[in-house]
């Protein structure tokens, strides 16, 4: 039996070896035939309306990268002044958020600033509508604006008792962490293109909702109902009305836009300097990165930008 099994195993191995040799020989013959046929074929040409003895997706490995062109695009070079002006919109909104949080901190430390915050709301409304009236050639409907302001104040006063106790079961650290998170969301998804007049309508609804949520949870930590109303009214001015004014100012005059940003920066810096040194340093660092360092790095890195063009690009008619 062992001899019989040994003989069968030997024949099986011999048969498998013969198949492998035959298969290798057949593959070698095919390669030789393909080489011979390839030598007799016409060279491949990059033409469309000619029948060639090649596959439709054939790529010539020897000539594929011969037409590769690596160059620095001249049209994409952006000036530092243009980058500075674009970054000023981001710095402006960052200053608005920082100023709002600064006002909240002042009210949290001393709730006797009710008349000051009320005067601030009134002054911002008057100045804002006045600037818009002058820059927009008197197209502002003052009667409608006053009517809207009064209704908004009434609604906030009615809802203030509920809002004041909205987060009474949460700790202060949780509220401040949520406020920081949603302020970051607001700055990330804010419609900066609208302020730059690249969009005709404001589309930053997510950013606006995040900002108003931040204002509501911060206002709920105040003890006075009137302070809650005043802080929410300030939030409406900063996050809802200010983008339209900033858009109009930049559209009318770039110098006025830069002046407005500088005034905001000085006011926020002075308020934070007397409030908290750590917050002052954090704000100034953020302004430096957003307004100066970021545009400079982008401007410097433009020299390393390369454009690669080759036969894979869509043909352009000149």
Q: Indicate the pLDDT class of residue 181, thresholds 50, 70 and 90.
A: very high
Asked if 259 and 221 sit in the same domain, the reply is: no
Mean pLDDT of 156-181: 83
- Please report the pLDDT score of residue 36 as a whole number: 42
Tens of pLDDT, residues 13-61: 444 544 453 454 444 434 444 444 555 567 777 777 777 777 777 777 7
E-assigned strand segments in 36-112: 69-71
120 pLDDT more than 80: yes
Q: Which residues contact 234 (CB under 8 A, 6 or more apart)?
A: 100, 103, 117, 120, 121, 124, 215
Per-residue pLDDT at 207 exceeds 80:
yes
Number of domains in the chain: 2
Q: Is 308 exposed, middle or buried (0-12, 13-18, 19+ CB in 10 A)?
A: exposed
Q: Which of 246, 253, 286, 231 is nearest to 117 (CA)?
A: 231
pLDDT at 126: 86
Within a domain: residue 268? yes
> What's the rounded mean pLDDT across residues 257-264?
92
Per-residue pLDDT band for 286 (boundaries 50, 70, 90) equals very high
Tokens of residue 58, six digits: 């054939």
- Whether residues 132 and 225 share a domain: the answer is yes
Query: What's the token pair of residue 229?
Result: 């109303």
Structural domain span for residue 266: 253-300
Together in a domain, 141 and 262: no
Q: What are the tokens at 281?
A: 């340093």
Number of residues written out for the chain: 318
CA atoms within 13 A on the CB side of 186: 26
289 with 197, same domain? no
User: What pLDDT, on the 0 to 100 scale, is given for residue 284?
Assistant: 94
Q: Which two tokens stand for residue 299?
A: 């401007």
Question: Which residues are within 8 A (CB) of 178 and not within 5 positions of it... i.e. 6 or more apart?
Answer: 214, 217
Sign of CA dihedral 145, 146, 149, 154: negative
Q: In the prediction, which pLDDT does 282 show?
A: 93
Q: What's the token pair of residue 180?
A: 């920081």
pLDDT in tens, 147-158: 777 787 777 777
286 located within any domain: yes
Alpha-carbon span 283 to 96, nearest angstrom: 11
Asked whether residue 183 is assigned to any structural domain, the reply reads: yes
| Tens-place pLDDT, residues 50-90 | 777 777 777 777 766 666 777 766 666 788 888 898 899 99
Question: In this structure, are 135 and 196 located in the same domain?
Answer: yes
Average pLDDT, stretch 150-172?
79
pLDDT of 266 over the 90 cut: yes
Q: Are residues 127 and 204 in the same domain?
A: yes
The residue among 141 and 120 whose pLDDT is bigger is 120
How much of the chain, in percent, has pLDDT values that exceed 70? 78
Assess contact for 186 and 239: CB atoms under 8 A.
yes
Least confident of 96-100, 107-111, 204-208, 282-286: 107-111
Does any domain span residue 112? no
- Residue 306 is assigned to a structural domain of this protein: no
Is residue 186 domain-shared with residue 146, that is, in the same domain?
yes
């Amino acid at each position: 039996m062992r001899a019989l099994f040994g003989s069968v195993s030997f024949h099986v191995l011999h048969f498998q070896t013969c198949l492998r040799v035959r298969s290798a020989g057949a593959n070698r013959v095919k390669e030789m035939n393909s080489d011979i046929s390839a030598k007799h074929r016409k060279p491949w040409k990059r033409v469309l309306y000619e029948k060639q003895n090649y596959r439709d997706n054939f790529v010539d490995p020897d000539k594929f990268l011969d037409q590769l062109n690596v160059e620095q695009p001249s049209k994409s070079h952006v000036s530092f002044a243009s980058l500075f002006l674009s970054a000023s919109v981001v710095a402006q909104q960052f200053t608005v958020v920082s100023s709002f949080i600064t006002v909240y901190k002042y009210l949290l430390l001393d709730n006797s600033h009710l008349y000051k915050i009320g005067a601030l709301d009134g002054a911002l409304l008057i100045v804002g509508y006045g600037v818009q009236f002058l820059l927009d050639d008197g197209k502002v409907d003052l009667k409608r604006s006053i009517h809207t302001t009064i209704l908004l104040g009434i609604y906030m006063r009615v809802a203030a008792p509920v809002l004041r106790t909205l987060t009474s079961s949460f700790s202060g650290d949780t509220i401040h962490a949520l406020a920081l998170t949603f302020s970051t969301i607001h700055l990330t998804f804010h419609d900066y293109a609208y302020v730059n007049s690249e969009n005709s309508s404001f589309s930053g609804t997510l950013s606006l909702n995040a900002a108003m949520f931040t204002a509501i949870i911060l206002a709920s930590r105040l003890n006075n109902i009137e302070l809650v109303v005043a802080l929410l009214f300030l939030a409406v001015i900063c996050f809802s009305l200010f983008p339209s004014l900033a858009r109009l100012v930049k559209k009318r005059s770039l110098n006025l836009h830069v002046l407005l940003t500088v005034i905001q920066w000085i006011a926020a810096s002075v308020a934070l300097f007397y409030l908290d040194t750590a917050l002052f340093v954090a704000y100034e660092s953020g302004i430096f990165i957003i307004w100066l360092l970021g545009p400079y790095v982008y401007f410097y890195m433009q020299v390393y930008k390369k454009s690669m063009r080759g036969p894979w690009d869509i043909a352009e008619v000149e």
